Amino acid sequence: MHELAIAENIVDTVCTRAAGRPVRRVTVRIGALTAVLPDAMRLCWDLAATGTAAHGAALDLDLRPAVVFCRACRTDQRLPDMIPLCPCGSADVTVTTGRELHIVSMEVA
**Residues annotated in a binding site:** 2, 70, 73, 86, 88
Name the 3-class secondary structure at 5: helix
DSSP code of residue 109? -
Per the annotation, binding residues for Ni(2+) are: 2
Mode of pairing for the β-strands spanning 58-64 and 23-31: parallel
Per the annotation, binding residues for Zn(2+) are: 70, 73, 86, 88
